[in-house]
Amino acid sequence: MGSVRARAAAGATAVVAVALIAVGIAVLLVLRTNLAGQADLHAEVTAREVASQIATGTAYRDLDLPDADDHPVLIDDENGRVLAAGEDLQVVDGTKVSLGAPGNGRHGDDDDDGATPRPGEVDDEVEHSDGTAVVDGERADYRWAEVDATDTHDRTVTVMAGTSRAAEEETIGSVRNAMLIGLPLLLLVVAGVTWLVTRRALRPVEGIRSEMAAITASTDLSRRVPEPASRDEIGGLARTTNETLAALEASVERQRRFIADASHELRSPIASLRTQLEVAEAHPELLDLPGAVEDTVRLQHLAADLLLLARLDAGERPKGTRIDLGALAREELSQRVADRLPVRAGELPSVEVSGSRGQLSRILGNLVDNAQRHARSQVTVDVHRDGRWAVLRVDDDGTGVAEADRERIFERFVRLDDARSRDDGGAGLGLAIARDIAERHGGTLAVREGAAFELRLPVATDSRD
């Protein structure tokens, strides 16, 4: 039973079966109780009618007794002697009925708590019991009602009247048989309907599964699974699956571009270094040692950038170390004494953030390097707090970034036209790395007015102003 449809159909059928069985038992119990109550009422009415005749002075031989087939009647006195009985009534509860002979003596077992009725009266109390009787040679079950009465001679007698339970048993049997026949049919209908409804409900899931299997086989991530028009859970599953496929396609495409761009960027310094080494091998006097060192340094920096990007793409999370952003900026700037242009430290108050000290230092270094490539004479760094954000701002006096390029410059291996020289502009990874690190610290990195780059990081929760 591995199919969802089969499990759903079996579960629904089991639940309905338990419910129907419980309801059926309750119906049968209520029906039996009602039919027994009706039998008690009929037996009591018959017993009281006969008792009323006795109380009014009708002789026992002249009593108008009902047909014994419908309501057998037996009258006996306090000694258990049978005074009258319905025609063809032969045995009551295993005791043979014979006029003048001791009867079944049922009243002799009763508690004598109630008052004896006065002459010409019928007792208000009635006792009910189950029993059997043989009428005209046929034995059957009956529901008995016993009523005491006093005749005009001050003799207390007990009138027993019965109502056959055959109709009750027949009715209950008919209802039970109907349930036994109808229950399996109803369960078959429930199972079939559940199977069909579940099959129709899961049809979009099968479409999603088959399309995913086709995508896996073809490795074509541009394909999408069908989205049903319904706004239910299955529709949500299809939309989420397509969003996942889109993110996966973008990630794979970004990886392909990254590999292609990295190969291209690595080719140039490696080719240049190889050329210089080959020339040096043939003509040692022509070796450009500073150029070879510069190409090696560029290659080293590029490899470090690529390694860091690989770690960031793998989901590396920064450590939760508390860092004073102002102190970090002062320390980093104090080490940049040999830069081409001076870097002026603005306001650098103490603002604590949480993250990786090395990665935040890398952001600041990349932003300052980028600013120095475009500045005319000076770069400025300052730190301040804006509500729950710590803000690091790097500004230069260059021409700034055009508004159309303010997002594009954060893409990997992107260099604007005025910085496309590999000697001056680098590989185009610095800003991309800086933004990736900022986002993994829960912050943002963006270009504001002119050439100002603004890093915003969440302030550590218990940091002081």
Q: What CATH number is given to the structural domain containing 346? A: 3.30.565.10
Question: Are residues 179 and 86 located together in one domain of the fold?
Answer: yes
In tens digits, the chain (465 residues) has pLDDT values of 457 778 888 888 899 999 999 999 999 999 989 998 999 999 999 999 999 998 888 888 888 888 877 789 999 988 888 889 888 888 888 888 887 656 554 544 444 444 556 667 888 899 999 999 998 888 889 999 999 999 888 889 999 999 988 888 889 999 999 988 988 999 899 888 888 888 887 788 888 888 888 888 887 888 888 888 777 788 888 888 888 888 888 878 877 777 777 777 777 778 877 887 887 778 777 767 777 777 787 778 778 877 777 777 777 778 778 999 999 999 998 888 777 788 888 889 999 999 999 899 999 999 998 888 888 888 999 999 999 999 999 999 888 888 888 888 888 777 665 443 444 446 678 898 899 999 999 999 999 887 899 999 999 886 444
Is 108 within 8 Å of 80 (Cβ atoms)? yes
Please state, in angstroms and rounded to a whole number, the distance separating the CA atoms of residues 144 and 129: 5
Query: How far, CA to CA in Å, does 103 sit from each of 82, 92, 153, 160?
Result: 5, 9, 21, 11
DSSP assignment string, 348-364: ----EEEE-HHHHHHHH
Sign of the four-CA dihedral 11, 16, 18, 19: positive
Comparing CA positions, the residue from 437, 433, 429 lying closest to residue 457 is: 437
Question: Are residues 264 and 293 located together in one domain of the fold?
Answer: yes
Question: Are residues 190 and 306 located together in one domain of the fold?
Answer: no
Question: Are residues 357 and 402 located together in one domain of the fold?
Answer: yes
Question: Are residues 11 and 129 located together in one domain of the fold?
Answer: yes
Residue type for position 215: I
Query: How far, CA to CA in Å, does 453 sit from each of 58, 390, 393, 456?
Result: 122, 14, 6, 10
- From 313, 346, 365, the end of a domain falls on 313
Query: How far, CA to CA in Å, does 83 sit from each of 18, 74, 75, 102, 373?
Result: 54, 8, 5, 9, 132
Please report whether residue 98 resides in a domain.
Answer: yes
- From 271, 295, 313, the end of a domain falls on 313
Question: Are residues 151 and 289 located together in one domain of the fold?
Answer: no
Is 32 within 8 Å of 25 (Cβ atoms)? no
Q: Which domain holds residue 47?
A: 1-213
Question: Are residues 269 and 325 located together in one domain of the fold?
Answer: no
Alpha helices (runs of H) in 126-232, residue ranges in sequence order: 166-218
- From 178, 213, 248, the end of a domain falls on 213
Question: Are residues 121 and 243 located together in one domain of the fold?
Answer: no
Please report whether residue 226 resides in a domain.
Answer: no
Is 73 within 8 Å of 160 (Cβ atoms)? yes
Please report whether residue 443 resides in a domain.
Answer: yes
- DSSP code of 390? E
Residue type for position 292: A
Please state, in angstroms and rounded to a whole number, the distance separating the CA atoms of residues 70 and 162: 8
Helix (H, G, I), strand (E, B) or coil at 66: coil
DSSP assignment string, 269-318: HHHHHHHHHHHHHH-GGG--HHHHHHHHHHHHHHHHHHHHHHHHHTTPPP
Q: How buried is residue 219: exposed, middle or buried, by Cβ count under 10 Å (0-12/13-18/19+)?
A: exposed
Please state, in angstroms and rounded to a whole number, the distance separating the CA atoms of residues 24 and 180: 10
The number of folded domains in the chain is 3
